Amino acid sequence: MTIRLFRPCFFAGWFYPKALFRIKTTEKILCLTFDDGPDPATTPELLDILDQYHVKAIFFCNGQAAEKYPFLVEKIKEEGHIAGNHGFAHANGWKTNTEDYCEDVNHASRFLPGSYFRPPYGRITYSQYKLLCKKFKIVFWDLMAYDFDPDFGAARSLLVLRRKVRNGSLIVLHDRPGSSSNTLLSEFLDSAIKNGYRFVLP
């Protein structure tokens, strides 16, 4: 049986005290993020949906994809969103030595020069974190909807978002073929806005 954790481990904030997991607020605000893009099959549609709802988001882009599709990175930024760094080759920090991992992230900065970084898979060692947080704001998440998992399905991902979202939730979805984010995004935004939430950038 697959165990899915919709929120990070309670102790994660102790290990990474300067990282962002959730916006501290008592207001009904949310922050929406997308990992793994840009991709010509998914990014334009996501941008169109976000534009319809006047919502801004952070797109944590893969450096290899950003190098391949620089026009999509520019489109993300032109429409008022943030293009964040998601590493160049989507390296797993738990399986990569610190020097190589940091070099991978810095290489991605050539194509994604902003200050926000999200570790691929959410996996980063303390030594990697200590070095990278000198240069980047490291961003994890408060709510994972498993939209990337075809076995989970769009309907279940949408249910997770509706039931588990809370004030200040930093939500991670995915910008890549095979993700259900394009399918569920309109319904989620419609539901969240009707329930009084508004979307902000950190």
Write out the catalytic residue numbers.
Answer: 35, 174
Residues 6+ apart with CB under 8 A from 139: 19, 20, 33, 58, 60, 84, 116, 117, 118, 170, 202
Closest CA to 63 of 113, 4, 18: 113
Tokens, residue 172: 């991670």
Helices (H) and strands (E) in the chain, counts: 8, 8
Q: Which residues are registered as beta bridge partners of 139?
A: 20
For residue 198, the SS3 value is strand
Side-chain half-sphere of 202: how many Cα atoms within 13 Å? Answer: 25
Peptide bond into 38 cis (omega under 30): yes
Read off the amino acid at residue 84: G
Tokens, residue 45: 């549609």
Tokens, residue 73: 């990175």
Task: State the Cα–Cα distance between residues 200 and 132, nearest whole angstrom.
Answer: 25
Tokens, residue 123: 């996996």
